[in-house]
Structure 1
Amino acid sequence: MNYEQLDQADLSGLEQAAGDWRKVKSAYEGLGDQYEQQVQRRLEKNWTGEAACAAQSEIAQVRKQMHAAAAEAGRMSKLLDDIHHDLHAFQKQLSALEEEMRGEHLVVNSNGSITDNHPMRHDSVARHDAGYSDFEDARFKLMQKYERKIDRILKKATQADETAEAALKADPNGEEDDSFTTAGYTSLDDAVEAQRDAKRAAELMAGGASPTELSELNRLLSKHADEPLFAERFVKSKGADGTLRSYMTMMNPPPGTSEDQKAVLRKIQKNLGTTLGTASRIDSPAMDKFEKELMAAGDSVYQSSNGRTTAYSYNGDQLTSSLLSHGDWDDDFLKDFGTELVQKEQDRYQFWGTDRESSWNGDGTWDLINSDPMVGFSDGLGHNPEAATDFLSGSTETDDGTIDNLDYLLKDREWHGGDADKAHFGHALEAATTGHDAGAGPSVDAPPHNQGQAELMERVVQSFGGDDEQLTDPSSMSESFGNMAAEYLPDINRAISNDPLGNTNMLFPVAGAQAELDNQDVTRFMVSVGQDPDGYAAIETAQRAYTANLMDHHLNPDLPEDQRYPGSPQEIVETISRRSGEIGGTLAVGRQEATLGEAAIADKEFSESMAQRKNLISGGISTGIGVGVSFIASPAGGAVASGVASTVSSVILEEIFQAQEPNALNEAARISGGDWEKSLESNIYLNQHTAELAAEAHGARYADSVADWALGGTRTGFNDAQTSVENMADDLETDVN
């Protein structure tokens, strides 16, 4: 910004724009209130049925966006106010300086140059005085002083102007998300700080940082990792190759580095990955170039000796992959990266003709970087659900033909790091089938499953229909499989009902796309997953909450007509208990096999996993009867905790968690036999208690009979489980006769 631009700038437009944005904020707030009063509440009160259920999450999302729009408008008004304040302040500084200079007989020209109009300059007699040369020197120095002052003001004004432009253009959502957001800068000072910190972080990444400087780098990355302004400035300073080169050196520190520093490096790795992910989502030519350079660096070799006699080395794919494990990355970049990995592994397969196609060379200190790039890529998909669904639903074109991405990674690929590495692919599957980050659980207003997610779930469960040991081995991805099943319980209950033409679908409502599952595949899936303590706990706790919510829902006398199951209350309780019993019985077979079979997992591990599940139960599982189905749980009669009435499902879950005690009997047969009987007894009690709580909550006249109905249904369900396992999954059991 030059002198004339600052001096003559009309800043009234900024002031007016800030005021206009404040009006927009008020308008959105008023519109949101009207929408809630006149639309949302009226529809919730008067609109029922499947269409109403499916619309609830959309309606809630509209209200959420109105709130975000008001917040974003308010943020814009504050930012514009701050920009106006700072630029106006610089104008005032310039004006004050001009006034000061006039007192010194100095005049500033429109181009910023200074003219000396001191009277002595025009006095011909004075020019011949002996001290005139000293006068000229003093005047020259005075002009230089004011030139420096003007220059400082212009530099600060230019920085403010450039930062204002960057802050106004910055989109915290990234190029793939057009929604409103509450994130972003409200102060020009914050934006200036972000740019300054980005420059400092790039300097610290240059190499040779001391422990104190590494801590400073981690602090800066952690503070600004999600800020586009910081991320773009940082990436521009380093470039793709420079970032990978510095990262390689940093992740392979010299001998003698402490464990505490290793912990700091892991944090830097996480925050750097998040920062680069933010940069990848910025819609600008510079960031598009960065993504291309990062892809192009895949085959480049990066080495670091760092005081050792031999150098460690990884290629660009391996380094980038370790960074993909963290942050929200551009979906297209993730999919392109995965496609190139599959293509490269297929090219290597054609050369070697063995499973060496998925064995990647590379080594480093402390194992901060996994040499298998598919591991980090899988984790990247695990917290980028849309990219995960798209990539695993697609295929990759190679010189040898078309490779189905899901089949390759789930069944065909050799994971040389074993179960520990393949478990990361479970994270990708979990995100792809559920629509949210792996391990996060659904939010209360989670949207229904879409067709792509449901079809992937179908294919995963269908894969258990064969005898692939990579799938039936419970030790690799079972926790993720359990989390996935926990969110497809309506679909699973429909599948084991074997009632394609009856009214079962009304008993187990599904919002969104249904996963069309086969009874045999589901049975084999649950027996296999049930052999893993974490997988078992995920399904068991979710099924208990689901059973409680279903009974609460269907025994409600005020249930809208189009949601009512046509059977009697007795049939409702018996059928729900039967399906719950079948799932509980099938899981019990898996648990029995785990304690009795080759794995010999201690029974107490299952109890410990159940107890730990208490901290993982999410609002979506504990209150819903199907992802996307609107449902308000009824307070359970007489159940009060801390003055707040508990729901039927929360009471049941609390009883489950309190009942978990370590159990380590000496004889495996007694443990397994006890497990089956204990599971049956537990399921009978819980289903009976669930039915009683639900009936009492609604003041049902048949409340005294529901325990008997639940008893019969649960026993029948366990018998169904035993029959199904014998006929459909006998090869997954150990013969103990």
Structure 2
Amino acid sequence: MAVDYETIVNTDLSGLDKAASDWKKMGKRFGDLHDNYRDHVKAAVEADGWQGESATTFKSQAQITLEEYAGARDEAQAVGALLEEAHSTLTDRRGKVLEARDQAVEAGMDVNPGTGRCTLNLDRLDEAKAETYREDPAAREELEERWTKKIRDAVKAVQDADENFRLALAADPDDGNRGLLDGFNGALEDDAGAANAARAEELYSKVERGEKLSREEREELDLLMRENESDQEFSRTFITALGGPDGVIRTHNELTDRAYYEDTGQKKHYLGLDRHLANVVATATTVDGKDKAADERFYDTWREQLREAGVETYDAEVVGGEHSGRQVRGYQSLVTLMQNGDGYDREFLHDLADDIRAAEDPDKGGDPDIWDLDGGFAGTKEEDGTFSPDRNSWFANDPYDGVLGIMSKDPATATAYFDPASEAGEDRLKYLQRDRDWDVVNTSEWRKVEVTGPDKADSDSRVGFGAALEAAMTGHVPGEEPRGKNPTHHSEAEVRVLESVVKSYAEAAAVDKTAIPENIRRNMANALAYYPNDVHDILGKNGDFTRDSLSSEPNDVDVKRQHMLQFVRGVAEDGGAFRTIHDSQVKMVAGEIHDLGREDLMEGTDRARAVAQVSGQVMGSLDYIRADVLGSQRDDEISQNNWGKIYAYHTIGTPVTAVPVFGDALQRLVDVGTGQYAEQLNNEVSNKTTEDLISAYRREGYPRLEEMLHIRAEQVGISEEDLASPEKAFQSTIMNDAGSEYSMALGDAEGAMGDRS
């Protein structure tokens, strides 16, 4: 029976510590007895020259006795160590229960001493809060339940740990038939994780053999994994007993076969076991340096075995089962498994990715068709570029892309993988951008007989690659909220990756504007949105048009303006991606205009002129790119309509920018640059050439910037008369600079694009 709240808070755990000490002392005494018996009894009789059946019988019994002493010694020491570990763990978790109780009391709760149930005591609240909860019983109930759950969860953690140690102490491992049949067992492990690994492996093996677990076994296994999967001794012992990489792969395949095809009513259970298995792999393959020799022994063996298992073929229902004639490769199954876990070691992810490449890269002796399967395994692509899962979309048919996706969850690992400061990083990026065969889907058609067609890419091709690049360039996990005080400040390695990616894809886009792969365009746009100031400097050139490259702030990005324009043009094939870049830059423009004061705009200061010039260059460059995209797509109605639909302004499409939008004044400027005025530029483009669109943008695009400057001038109190006067600096200098640089930027961008393709 599990210990309850009342028992936990009232129990003195110091007895466990004393018991641990006593067991260890007992182990030492049994060790002394073992040594004395070995040296003074068994050895003395054997040295006496005793012969015959009685001597043989004695020697046999003496060996058993010696083994019993050894078993007693080792078992007592192991029990002592387990009790010591239990004392430490249970003390810590009991402390969490007491902490949760005390916090609940501080929050105004009365905590039932028997059950831990919380009840709000209105007399302990100030009158305003008390009245609120009197009038809203539902809110009061929700608050009480929240605190009760916090205590209940802490109690559950104690109960789980208690049961985990009970199972460890009750373990009966194989001791190699030493000593008496039912005697002391010196094989008992002195670590709870290691002690319970054999039982966990036994239950997983039952599943792998096709057997079903009882409800009690499922609960036991879930507890064992939940409590021990982060324990390295447990994890390494467990997967070694399971059969190494081959056993892990076979077990995973069986779990997914049952979850998705054979026993779907228990899907949650099987996928839970799969997640535990993934987390065990993460723990086992982590090289933490605590025991370098043990780390290296295990890791080197695991990796060597995985290289073999990774290219082996296995039966799996996802490709039709054992009677279909189709099989999956081990790496495909392993990466599918790993997608369910997290916390993988950098070295393991890098090595795994490189080993997968070695299996497929012809220059390394690999087979470029090794991952090819019939049919695709992607979900349905949505308008926002994400994929909705379907029946088979959980399967990592492209394991290299899959492991890169896993890597994107740890940006520092992704950055290190692609960092061009190393020869390996530069080579990896080149291979994935230019040399890799991404076509992993077999095709065929019927012409009286089935004829094999050319391979093609799956519809989610490069999704993992794009996410890994975004993480590597930004230091942030794609799709998550930016972290840190300065999300637009980046490490030197992140900047190096950005520079390499922009330059290499810019060169490709200069020849073929569709060269940047479809599924990574939004990742590339998101990356630029994490460098808003730098991109602004590069596109605007700080008003200095004689320099081809410049030092940008704050990250000193070394990218030529021409390359940045070519890169943005390639990304802009996706309307949503272009919108992300556009919004980010217009917010920068709005922020700089908002920072101008009355004197700047009245006198035409150098500061105001620089803002006008840079703003004109940035907005003109982006409008040319918009025109070039829409002009090149004018004959492709579906493509054009999708670009416009995705581009439509419903919310700001920027994941991050250095300019927070606070206050109505700045928001008005942003709305002008990114709202309906910008959206109208996408409409009614049918039958217009790029040249027609550029002319239209000179008339309709520039007025956005003009209006933003006018709005700011009005906000700082400049009269309409002064704004309209051609003799005043606002018209003669600021507006003139903005207009001329906008027009110049349209021409500069056209020159950067080269021949339209």
1:102-501 superposed matches below 5 A:
159=82, 161-163=84-86, 189=159, 191-192=161-162, 205-206=204-205, 207=207, 208=210, 229=230, 233-234=234-235, 236-239=237-240, 240-241=244-245, 242-253=247-258, 257=262, 273=278, 276-277=281-282, 279-281=284-286, 283=288, 285=291, 291-296=299-304, 297-300=306-309, 301=312, 303-304=314-315, 308-310=322-324, 313-325=327-339, 327-346=342-361, 348-349=362-363, 356-357=367-368, 359-361=370-372, 366=392, 368-394=394-420, 404-417=427-440, 418=457, 420-440=460-480, 442-443=482-483, 445-446=485-486, 448-463=489-504, 464-466=506-508, 467=510, 469=512, 472-473=515-516, 475-498=518-541
Name the SS of the counterpart of 1:494 in structure 2.
Answer: helix
Note the alpha carbon deviations across 1:254-273, whole angstroms, 9 max, x for none: 99548887788778766754
Paired position in structure 2 for 1:586: 624
Equivalent residue letter for 1:601: S
Paired position in structure 2 for 1:719: 743
8 Å CA contact 1:529–1:535 kept in 2: the answer is: yes
8 Å CA contact 2:415–2:493 kept in 1: the answer is: yes
Paired residues in the alignment total 552
Instruction: Report whether the alignment pairs 1:514 with 2:571.
Output: no
Equivalent residue letter for 2:249: L
Of the three residues 575, 579, 594, the one matched with 1:537 is: 579
8 Å CA contact 1:595–1:672 kept in 2: the answer is: no
Equivalent residue letter for 1:345: E
CA distance in 1, matches of 2:251, 2:327: 13
Residue 111 of structure 1, CA deviation:
7.9
1:264/1:484 Cα in 2 relative to 1: closer, same or farther (>3 Å)? farther
1:295/1:728 Cα in 2 relative to 1: closer, same or farther (>3 Å)? same
8 Å CA contact 1:595–1:602 kept in 2: the answer is: yes
CA distance in 1, matches of 2:712, 2:220: 52
Equivalent residue letter for 1:303: Y
Equivalent residue letter for 1:330: D
CA distance in 2, matches of 1:310, 1:472: 38
8 Å CA contact 1:584–1:679 kept in 2: the answer is: no
8 Å CA contact 2:538–2:559 kept in 1: the answer is: yes
CA distance in 2, matches of 1:293, 1:557: 72
CA distance in 1, matches of 2:269, 2:648: 33
CA distance in 1, matches of 2:693, 2:90: 61
Name the SS of the counterpart of 2:395 in structure 1.
Answer: coil
| TM-score normalised by structure 2 residue count | 0.58
Residue 634 of structure 1, CA deviation:
7.8
Equivalent residue letter for 2:328: Y
1:490/1:275 Cα in 2 relative to 1: closer, same or farther (>3 Å)? farther
Equivalent residue letter for 2:533: P
Residue 369 of structure 1, CA deviation:
2.6
CA distance in 1, matches of 2:354, 2:619: 43
Residue 310 of structure 1, CA deviation:
4.2
CA distance in 2, matches of 1:473, 1:273: 33
CA RMSD of aligned residues (A): 5.6
1:498/1:395 Cα in 2 relative to 1: closer, same or farther (>3 Å)? closer
Residue 594 of structure 1, CA deviation:
6.0
Name the SS of the counterpart of 1:336 in structure 2.
Answer: helix
8 Å CA contact 1:536–1:591 kept in 2: the answer is: no
Identical aligned residues as a percent: 17
CA distance in 1, matches of 2:437, 2:268: 31
Name the SS of the counterpart of 2:479 in structure 1.
Answer: coil
Paired position in structure 1 for 2:753: 729
1:696/1:377 Cα in 2 relative to 1: closer, same or farther (>3 Å)? farther
Equivalent residue letter for 2:633: T
Residue 530 of structure 1, CA deviation:
1.0
Residue 415 of structure 1, CA deviation:
1.0
Paired position in structure 1 for 2:13: 87
Residue 210 of structure 1, CA deviation:
6.3
Name the SS of the counterpart of 2:518 in structure 1.
Answer: coil
1:369/1:634 Cα in 2 relative to 1: closer, same or farther (>3 Å)? closer
8 Å CA contact 2:360–2:368 kept in 1: the answer is: yes
Name the SS of the counterpart of 2:437 in structure 1.
Answer: coil
| TM-score normalised by structure 1 residue count | 0.60
8 Å CA contact 1:388–1:432 kept in 2: the answer is: yes
1:523/1:570 Cα in 2 relative to 1: closer, same or farther (>3 Å)? same
8 Å CA contact 1:396–1:405 kept in 2: the answer is: no
- After the TM superposition, which of the residue ranges 385-394 and 517-526 deviates more from structure 2? 385-394
8 Å CA contact 1:551–1:576 kept in 2: the answer is: no
Note the alpha carbon deviations across 1:606-636, whole angstroms, 9 max, x for none: 443554764x644x42xx15xxxxxxx5843
Residue 201 of structure 1, CA deviation:
7.1
Note the alpha carbon deviations across 1:698-736, whole angstroms, 9 max, x for none: 778999749968865664454334323432214344xxx
Note the alpha carbon deviations across 1:272-314, whole angstroms, 9 max, x for none: 5456435544625566655444422132125236774246533
Paired position in structure 2 for 1:149: none
CA distance in 2, matches of 1:650, 1:233: 59
Note the alpha carbon deviations across 1:629-676, whole angstroms, 9 max, x for none: xxxx5843xx3xxxxxxx725872598467898999798325979976
Name the SS of the counterpart of 1:445 in structure 2.
Answer: coil
Note the alpha carbon deviations across 1:323-367, whole angstroms, 9 max, x for none: 444523211222222232333334x34658xxx536425689935
CA distance in 1, matches of 2:353, 2:740: 47
8 Å CA contact 1:379–1:424 kept in 2: the answer is: yes
Equivalent residue letter for 1:314: V
Equivalent residue letter for 1:360: W
1:422/1:266 Cα in 2 relative to 1: closer, same or farther (>3 Å)? farther
Residue 580 of structure 1, CA deviation:
3.0
1:634-673 superposed matches below 5 A:
635-636=662-663, 639=664, 648-649=666-667, 652=670, 656=674, 668-669=686-687
